[in-house]
């Protein structure tokens, strides 16, 4: 397949301003009739080329006349109609087979319910159309089906008619008043339980809220509904944005490739991001629901009212909407740890992508399969880029920019440049240099050195920046890096920042050139600098901190992220020292620092839980090249064993203090459960027998999934004696509930045991494991390949072969999921031999597959280049 280039963008030759769809539901033979009102754009005589895949064309008419065969031409992916006028009505009838659609793109069946997924290019699997986001049409959709089987037949907008047909079927018609690209089209038909509520907007309109869930799941729908109402109120309060239709529907389905989809007025969700109650879902699941419900709701303005001109602009809606959902979650929980968790994703996943074979800027320049570009770079680094603009302009300036963006572009399909221009124009702020972030892949590396002059009481920071070459681009330019700074004395007290250089609000310094110097005056002694407070830019920062400075920052800094970052830096230093064989032991003052944190009553529980965690393997992998993975894993084990005895006593008493008699979902209770899990894991490291008893009794006595899963996770990680019986009890209790069994599958995947391969075989044969269900497949496969480092990287290559086999199976079932799950193999260049050689051999084998999907072809091809 050929790559498409951003630079080749051309406005469409034709537009469609109105589409009438009639969809007659049938599992194997759905009939789709469409009437398109088409207009030629500009003066040209080019033919109308519609997109379409896996469609059986039944008839084609223009302005009521059958089109003769010589006037049209079909390929696998297009329908070309020549010799047409400037304004025409095209009637098309096709048939499709939803039951055979395991790709979960287009119209498919999810456990008996019809459901669509059209972003990015799925509408072309439903009918012939101009399947591109800059063609905006008003949709009227008639759904015809058996009302007994499908009591709910839903589409975008408002229901305008319902009739019983002569043949006994029912027709329900929906009309969406807002013009939209076809990727926002949705249809759902099935039998559901319905939770209804309402929201009164700031202008006093009542909006009906409907949440459709699988039968019997109403007791798991309340939190999603609450989150939806909170999102609606938040967008009004923070951005003055009100919902625009009279009805907002959310449907939860079990078979879904991603988290959710923001179709206008009819969101379709992976049931994982809707269904939760305390006994079936963890605190983390509840968080996920709040953020995904918020995310899809916020898309109504950032994505739907203003959409993307082309798919290269995906970050226009995704980066911005992730930023908005992150701010929403921060406001809801009021906690610093949200930021830490967001940064952990960037460091463990996005930095890897930036350094790997699929590196791309947040606005990619070349794409083969669009589905491969729904990435942590476009989403999460994209959100960091928006956050940097927020940092530079301040909250009020950013809001002015958003207001201008909507004033200029409501109802349009636009580019990232249009967004930045609105921010610039609303604030008279020059972001032209900042725009490198949209053009350049790779993680900038900023190095800082300092110098203190006691005589003049000046403190000087010298900055230099450099972005390493990435797979897609060799030459890099300096970019605009906002660094939020702080200076601290040896007791950790914040010092005033006196400098002649301009700092923007909140002590933000802009590093713009390759090198620069910043001088602070009136500094009484050599301070400790904090150079990236709040992770103010998605960069790697290096400064040669002493252990004492890191301990000071971790104990006292007024920024939660910096405290966590300081501890992580300190621990990583000794993990690498041990892995490299340079040292054998962690210095006692580092261990004492951890103990001090565990005993510090002024640190809130949520932050303390994060401060007591060791750096993750993924995070560490992004700090070096050519890694001996087993040496790194051994070093992590060594450091755990050295630290655990010192933390044992405090963790034991903290653990018992943290036990709560009653379950509650407020932030303080969640923080207690989180810290209690950190403590339990240190106890397990120090004393397996004690942990065995604690896990067993926590599992037995707890009434909520968070604690039960904490017990199970620790039993599994440390392979405690209670593991097997707890896993069996869990299976007995939840075997009919796929969503809950995903947790169990994930634990089986990451079981660090010699029996793990035999165990995988047993687990794959379980009736609840289905490779066709993305949640099931992901839980087990990613549990193994992305979390079970010891056995995925087994010396004999058997871990790589296991993954490779799953990928080969998934290639024909669901290419999108196969392309996501192959990721750990594509990182082969990171590792030393023999791992790198074995991983590469698996990729080469996959590359030879007959019928390799476009998705895998692009990813595997690039990783072998
Ligand atoms: N805008 C959506 C992106 C998406 C998607 C969703 C579900 C299944 C397949 C998908 N492909 C692309 C999700 C979002 O960012 O809100
Ligand atoms: Zn999104």
DSSP secondary structure letter of residue 749: H
Pick the ligand that lies closest to the CA of residue 106: 1
Say which CATH number the domain at 608 has: 1.25.50.10
In a domain, 632, yes or no: yes
What is the tens place of the pLDDT at every residue in 527-582? 999 999 999 999 999 999 999 999 999 999 999 999 999 999 999 999 999 999 99
Query: Residue 296 C-alpha to ligand 1 middle, in angstroms?
Result: 9
- 429 and 387, same domain (yes or no): yes
Does 168 share its domain with 26? yes
- For residue 662, count CB atoms less than 10 angstroms from its CB and return exposed for 0-12, middle for 13-18, buried for 19 or more: exposed
Confidence of residue 1 (pLDDT cuts 50, 70, 90): confident
Dump the DSSP string for 405-422.
HHHHHTT-EE-HHHHHHH
Query: Is 279 inside any structural domain?
Result: no
**Rounded to 5 degrees, what angle do the CA atoms 261, 262, 263 make?**
100
pLDDT digits (tens, 9 = 90+) for 370-395: 999 999 999 999 999 999 999 999 99
pLDDT score of 434: 98
Cα-to-centroid distance, 421 and ligand 2 (Å): 22
561 lies in some domain: no
Residue 479 sits in the same domain as residue 611: no
Atom of ligand 1 nearest to the CA of 257: 8
Residues 17 and 82 in one domain: yes
Number of domains in the chain: 4
> Ligand 1 centre and the CA of 354: distance in Å?
21
462-486 residue pLDDT tens:
999 999 999 999 999 999 999 999 9
Could you tell which of 258, 272, 313, 320 is best to mutate to test the pocket of ligand 1, judged by most ligand atoms within 8 Å of the CB?
258
Is the separation of the CB atoms in 680 and 694 below 8 Å?
A: yes
Ligand 2 centre from 294 Cα, in Å?
Answer: 10
Residue pair 485/500 in contact by the 8 Å Cβ criterion: no
Note whether 732 and 854 are same-domain residues: yes
Distance 372 CA to ligand 1 centre (A): 11
Residue 49 has a pLDDT of 98
Q: Classify residue 15: in a domain, yes or no.
A: yes
Considering the domain architecture, whether residues 525 and 585 belong to the same structural domain is answered as: no
Residues 422 and 456 in one domain: no
Q: State which of 186, 188, 261 you would mutate to test the pocket of ligand 1, scoring each by most atoms of that ligand within 8 A of its C-beta.
A: 261
104: left (phi over 0), alpha (psi -120 to 50) or beta: left
As a whole number, mean pLDDT of residues 733-743 equals 98
Domain boundary, last residue among 171, 191, 211: 191
Of 191, 225, 243, which marks where a domain is finished? 191
Which one is catalytic: 290, 296, 353, 858?
296
Q: Residue 850, class by beta-carbon neighbours within 10 Å (0-12 exposed, 13-18 middle, 19+ buried)?
A: exposed
Q: Is residue 474 domain-shared with residue 412, that is, in the same domain?
A: no
Residue 257 domain-assigned?
no
What does the alpha-carbon distance between residue 299 and residue 245 come to, in Å, rounded to a whole number?
14
ipTM: 0.97
Residue 79 CA to residue 503 CA, distance in Å, equals 57
CATH number at residue 474: 2.60.40.1840
453 and 429 inside one domain: no
Residue 82 lies inside a defined structural domain of this protein: yes
Considering the domain boundaries, does residue 252 fall inside one? no
Question: Ligand 1 pocket: which of 260, 302, 383 to mutate (most atoms <8 Å of CB)?
Answer: 260
Residues 6 and 106 in one domain: yes
What is the domain range of residue 667? 568-864
Among all bound ligands, the one having the nearest atom to the CA of 183 is: 1
Maximal CA-CA distance, the chain = 96
CATH of the domain at 115: 2.60.40.1730
Range 9-22 average pLDDT: 98
Counting atoms of ligand 1 from 1, which one is nearest the CA of 268? 7
* Segment 25-44, tens digit of pLDDT: 999 999 999 999 999 999 99
Ligand 1 pocket, CB under 6 A: 117, 119-120, 257-258, 260-262, 295-296, 299, 318, 374
Active site residue 24: no
> Last residue of a domain, which of 404, 424, 439?
439
Nearest ligand, CA 817: 1
Do 40 and 113 belong together in one domain?
A: yes
pTM of the model: 0.99
- Whether 679 is in a domain gets the answer yes
What is the reported pLDDT for 505?
A: 87
Same domain as 460, residue 394:
no
Question: What local confidence, expressed as pLDDT, does residue 335 receive?
Answer: 78
CATH of the domain at 331: 1.10.390.10
Q: For 56-101, what is each residue's pLDDT tens digit?
A: 999 999 999 999 999 999 999 999 999 999 999 999 999 999 999 9
């Amino acid at each position: 397949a050929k790559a498409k280039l951003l630079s080749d963008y051309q406005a469409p030759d034709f537009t469609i301003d109105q589409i009438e769809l009639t969809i007659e539901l049938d599992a194997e033979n759905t009939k789709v009739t469409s009437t398109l009102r088409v207009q030629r754009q500009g003066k040209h005589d080019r033919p109308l080329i519609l997109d379409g895949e896996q469609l059986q064309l039944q008839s084609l008419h223009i302005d009521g006349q059958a089109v003769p065969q010589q006037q049209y031409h079909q390929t696998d992916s297009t329908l070309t109609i020549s010799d047409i006028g400037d304004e025409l009505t095209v009637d098309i009838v096709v048939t499709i087979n939803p039951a055979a659609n395991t790709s979960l793109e287009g119209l498919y069946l999810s456990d008996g319910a019809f459901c669509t997924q059209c972003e990015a290019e799925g509408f072309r699997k439903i009918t012939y159309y101009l399947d591109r986001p800059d063609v905006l049409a008003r949709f009227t959709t008639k759904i015809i089906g058996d009302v007994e089987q499908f009591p709910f037949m839903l589409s975008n907008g408002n229901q305008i008619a319902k009739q019983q047909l002569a043949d006994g079927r029912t027709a329900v018609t929906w009309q969406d008043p807002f013009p939209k690209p076809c990727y926002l089209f949705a249809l759902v038909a099935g039998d559901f339980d319905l939770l209804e509520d309402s929201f009164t907007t700031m202008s006093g309109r009542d909006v009906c809220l409907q949440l459709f869930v699988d039968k019997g799941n109403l007791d798991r729908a309340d939190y999603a509904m609450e989150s939806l109402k909170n999102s609606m109120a938040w967008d009004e309060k923070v951005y003055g944005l009100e919902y625009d239709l009279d009805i907002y529907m959310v449907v939860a389905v079990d078979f879904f490739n991603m988290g959710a989809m923001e179709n206008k007025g009819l969101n379709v969700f992976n049931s994982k991001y809707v269904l939760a109650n305390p006994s079936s879902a963890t605190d983390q699941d509840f968080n996920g629901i709040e953020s995904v419900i918020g995310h899809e709701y916020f898309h109504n303005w950032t994505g739907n009212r203003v959409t993307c001109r082309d798919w290269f602009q995906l970050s226009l809606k995704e980066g911005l909407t992730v930023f908005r959902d992150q701010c929403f979650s921060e406001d809801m929980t009021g906690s610093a740890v949200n930021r830490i968790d967001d940064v952990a994703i960037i460091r463990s996943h996005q930095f890897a992508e930036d350094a790997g074979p699929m590196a791309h800027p947040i606005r990619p320049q070349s794409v083969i399969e669009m589905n491969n570009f729904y990435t942590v770079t476009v989403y999460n680094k994209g959100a960091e880029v928006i956050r940097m603009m927020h940092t530079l302009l301040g909250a009020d300036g950013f809001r002015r920019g958003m207001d201008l963006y909507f004033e200029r572009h409501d109802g349009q399909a636009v580019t990232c440049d249009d967004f930045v221009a609105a921010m610039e124009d609303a604030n008279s702020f020059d972001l032209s240099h900042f725009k490198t972030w949209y053009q350049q892949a790779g993680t900038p590396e900023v190095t800082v050195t300092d110098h203190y002059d006691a005589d003049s009481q000046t403190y000087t920071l010298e900055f230099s920046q450099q972005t390493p070459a990435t797979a897609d681009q060799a030459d890099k330019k300096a970019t605009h890096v906002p660094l939020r700074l702080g200076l601290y004395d040896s007791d950790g007290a914040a010092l005033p920042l006196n400098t002649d250089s301009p700092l923007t609000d909140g002590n933000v310094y802009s590093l713009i050139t390759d090198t620069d110097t910043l001088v602070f005056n009136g500094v009484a002694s050599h301070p400790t600098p904090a150079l990236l407070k709040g992770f103010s830019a998605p960069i790697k920062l290096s400064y040669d901190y002493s252990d004492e400075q890191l301990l000071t920052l971790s104990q006292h800094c007024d920024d939660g992220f910096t405290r966590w970052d300081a501890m992580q830096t300190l621990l990583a230093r000794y993990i690498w020292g041990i892995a490299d064989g340079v040292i054998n032991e962690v210095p006692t003052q580092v261990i004492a620092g951890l103990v001090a944190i565990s005993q510090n009553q002024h640190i809130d529980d949520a932050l303390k839980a994060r401060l007591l965690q060791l750096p993750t393997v993924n995070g560490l992998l992004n700090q070096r090249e050519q890694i001996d993975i087993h040496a790194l894993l051994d070093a992590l084990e060594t450091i755990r064993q050295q630290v655990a005895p010192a933390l044992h006593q405090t963790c034991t008493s903290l653990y018992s203090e943290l036990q709560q008699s009653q379950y509650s979902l407020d932030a303080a209770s969640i923080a207690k459960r989180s810290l209690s899990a950190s403590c339990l894991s240190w106890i397990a490291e120090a004393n397996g027998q004690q942990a065995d008893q604690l896990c067993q009794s926590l599992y037995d006595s707890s009434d909520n999934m968070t604690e039960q899963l904490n017990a199970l996770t620790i039993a599994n990680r440390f392979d405690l004696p209670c593991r097997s019986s707890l896993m069996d009890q869990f299976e007995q209790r939840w075997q009919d509930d796929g969503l809950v069994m995903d947790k169990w599958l994930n634990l089986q995947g990451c079981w660090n045991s010699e029996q793990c391969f035999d165990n995988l075989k047993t687990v794959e044969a379980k009736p609840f494991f289905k490779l066709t269900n993305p949640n099931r497949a992901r839980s087990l496969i990613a549990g193994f390949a992305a979390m079970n480092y010891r056995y995925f990287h087994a010396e004999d290559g058997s871990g790589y072969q296991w993954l490779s086999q799953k990928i080969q199976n998934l290639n024909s079932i669901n290419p999108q999921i196969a392309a996501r799950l192959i990721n750990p193999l594509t990182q082969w260049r990171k590792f030393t031999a023999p791992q790198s050689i074995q991983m590469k051999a698996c990729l080469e084998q996959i590359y030879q597959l007959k019928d390799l999907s476009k998705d895998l072809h692009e990813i595997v091809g690039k990783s072998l280049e």
